[in-house]
Structure formats: structure tokens, C-alpha cells
């Protein structure tokens, strides 16, 4: 890659890395895996940088790559979550404010939802995409997004109860 392209990529990376990492965390529920997924998405973007013509579509390209990485990893047998009687300590998670506690409860609830439904819920409710934008990011139909949203919210309601009534889609 030439110097101008490298600088352009570096600017994009600096501007979007935190948002991509946050989205990855909301999808997988683990900061270490979120770092891995975000890194994989940016490595893939760097590898394809010269071939991407529409620079306005970079966010959608990275988001779609990120979703694929998270969903693909969840399908690997050695990565499936195992439930234990004891919960591990949450290192580095502050618990001082109600907002953090609520977010923590939501992330724990999202862990119980299948990966595809979790991706739809994160993109719609937490990333603020509408149905069409979510469908484009996931490469599926709008009807699939609507049904995955419905099933995902039902699964979250079963785990979290009435706490979801405050959540509304952004689009």
C-alpha cells in the first residue's frame, strides 16, 4: 500500500476503533474476544483497502466483517460457552453506577441469546441501525431481521423480564 492509502487507513482506524470494539463486545460479551474480533475486522479491512471503492461504505463493510467473525466463532465447538456453578470474578468492570450495572445485566442477558439474534439486537438497539441497515450489514432480508429481532427479544425477555420495556429500536 502506498503512503497516502496507509495514512487514510490509519485515520479511519483511529476514528472507528473504539466503536467497533464496543460493538464486538456487545455481540460476544467478553472484552478479550471483542479485541480479537475488532482486530480481525481491521486486518481484513487493511488487506482489502485498495479494492474498496466506496469509502462511505467502510463502516458497513467493517460491521459486516465483524458480525461474520463473531457468528463464525460462536459456531466453533471449542468456543461454545460452558456453564458452571461459580461465576468468575469480573476484573476491571466498575460497578459504581446504575448505568454500568444495567449494561452489565443486559450483556449477561445477551449471552443467552443465539449469536445471529444477538447480532441483530446489538445492531438494531445498541448501534442504532434500522431494519434495512441491519439487513444490509448482515447480508439477509429485512424479514429475517424482523423475525430475528422478535425471537431475540423474546429470549431476552425470558431471561431479563420486564427490564426490556425501556429499550426501543432506533429506526
What per-residue confidence (pLDDT) applies to 29? Answer: 85
Query: How many whole angstroms separate alpha carbon 20 and alpha carbon 13?
Result: 10
- Contact (Cβ atoms closer than 8 angstroms) between residue 118 and residue 44: no
If we measure between CA atoms, which residue out of 62, 56, 59 comes closest to residue 37?
62
Question: What domains sit in the chain, N to C, each tagged with a CATH number?
Answer: 1-77 (1.10.1740), 96-171 (1.10.10.10)
Q: pTM higher than 0.95 for the full model? A: no
pLDDT in tens, the chain (171 residues): 788 889 999 999 999 999 999 999 988 888 999 999 999 999 999 999 988 888 888 999 999 999 998 888 877 666 555 656 676 565 555 444 455 556 777 788 888 889 899 999 989 988 888 999 999 888 999 999 999 999 998 988 888 875 555 544 444
Q: How far apart are CA 164 and CA 121, in angstroms?
A: 12
State how far the alpha carbon of 72 is from the alpha carbons of 20, 26, 49, 79, 122, in Å.
17, 16, 22, 10, 16
Amino acid at each position: 500500500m502506498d503512503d497516502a492509502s496507509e495514512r487514510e487507513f490509519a485515520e479511519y482506524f483511529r476514528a472507528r476503533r473504539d466503536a467497533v470494539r464496543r460493538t464486538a463486545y456487545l455481540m460476544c460479551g467478553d472484552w478479550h474476544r471483542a479485541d480479537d474480533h475488532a482486530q480481525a475486522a481491521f486486518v481484513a479491512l487493511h488487506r482489502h483497502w485498495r479494492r474498496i471503492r466506496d469509502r462511505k461504505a467502510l463502516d458497513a463493510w467493517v460491521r459486516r466483517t465483524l458480525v461474520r467473525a463473531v457468528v463464525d466463532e460462536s459456531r466453533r465447538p471449542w468456543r461454545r460457552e460452558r456453564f458452571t456453578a461459580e461465576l468468575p470474578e469480573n476484573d476491571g468492570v466498575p460497578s459504581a453506577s446504575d448505568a454500568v450495572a444495567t449494561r452489565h445485566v443486559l450483556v449477561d442477558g445477551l449471552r443467552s441469546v443465539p449469536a445471529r439474534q444477538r447480532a441483530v439486537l446489538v445492531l438494531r438497539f445498541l448501534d442504532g441501525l434500522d431494519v434495512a441497515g441491519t439487513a444490509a450489514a448482515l447480508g439477509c432480508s429485512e424479514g429475517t431481521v424482523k423475525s430475528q429481532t422478535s425471537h431475540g427479544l423474546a429470549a431476552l425477555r425470558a431471561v431479563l423480564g420486564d427490564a426490556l420495556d425501556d429499550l426501543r429500536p432506533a429506526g
